[in-house]
């Protein structure tokens, strides 16, 4: 099979949407779940564009809501494929909000979605490699490698065998935390 490569720039997608009252929570700010839904949609579009296949969300890296989004602000999401594996891609997403009356722009959050390409039989399929054309794309690729390593380390740390796990062996770790143990 011939290995194909595509420029990272070819997968970039940007969407903008005006935030409406129907998108708000009880506090009058835009609901985080609505923003996550939009992020998932743009991650799907970006990954599908790169892979030319249907893609599913395998995982979402930490999403920190840095600034609230107000009703009436224009939210823009920018996504790009930052890393490719055999069948998976890491899509980086940046969310900004603009007050269209004042022009004030704020960074609201960034996250990384791992997407997997699928065929019509729901089997994972190989994705094209990535052509990196500048230092920003190289930095993003390297950061994705670190995120993947960090995820693998988290899985190792919390891979307790539930049949042989003895809680009393780990109670000392919990001492500095606000927790009460009643065994």
Per-residue pLDDT tens for 96-112? 999 999 999 999 999 99
Q: Give the residue-averaged pLDDT of 47-53.
A: 97
> Does some domain include residue 180?
no
Q: Is 28 left (phi over 0), alpha (psi -120 to 50) or beta?
A: left
Q: In which domain, by residue range, is 92 found?
A: 5-174
Residue 33 — pLDDT band, cuts 50, 70, 90?
very high
For residue 127, the model assigns a pLDDT of: 97
> Does some domain include residue 112?
yes
CATH code for position 55: 3.10.129.10
> Does some domain include residue 26?
yes
Cα–Cα distance between 81 and 152 in angstroms, integer? Answer: 20
> Does some domain include residue 168?
yes
The total number of structural domains in the chain stands at 1
pLDDT (tens digit per residue) in 67-77:
999 999 999 99
> Does some domain include residue 181?
no
Tokens of 12: 């970039």
DSSP of 91-146: EEEEEEEE-TTT--EEEEEEEEEEEEEE-TTS-B----EEE--SHHHHHHHHHHHH
Region of poorest pLDDT, from 89-93, 115-119, 160-164: 160-164
Residue 63 — pLDDT band, cuts 50, 70, 90?
very high
pLDDT (tens digit per residue) in 120-179:
999 999 999 999 999 999 999 999 999 998 887 776 666 667 777 788 888 888 889 988
Q: Is 44 left (phi over 0), alpha (psi -120 to 50) or beta?
A: alpha
> Does some domain include residue 131?
yes
């Amino acid at each position: 099979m011939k290995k194909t490569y595509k420029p990272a720039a070819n997968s970039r997608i940007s969407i903008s949407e005006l935030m409406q009252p129907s998108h708000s929570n009880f506090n009058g700010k835009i609901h985080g779940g609505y923003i996550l839904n939009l992020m998932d949609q743009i991650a799907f579009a970006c990954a599908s564009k790169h892979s030319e296949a249907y893609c599913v969300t395998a995982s979402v890296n930490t999403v920190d809501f840095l600034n609230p989004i107000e009703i009436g602000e224009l939210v823009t999401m920018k996504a790009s494929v930052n890393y490719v594996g055999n069948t998976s891609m890491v899509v980086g997403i940046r969310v900004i909000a603009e007050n269209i009356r004042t022009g004030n722009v704020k960074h609201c959050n960034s996250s990384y979605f791992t997407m997997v390409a699928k065929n019509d039989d729901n089997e994972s399929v190989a994705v094209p490699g990535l052509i990196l054309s500048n230092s920003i794309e190289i930095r993003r690729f390297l950061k994705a490698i670190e995120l993947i390593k960090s995820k693998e380390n988290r899985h190792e740390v919390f891979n307790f065998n539930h049949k042989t796990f003895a809680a009393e062996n780990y109670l000392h770790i919990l001492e500095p935390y606000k927790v009460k143990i009643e065994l």
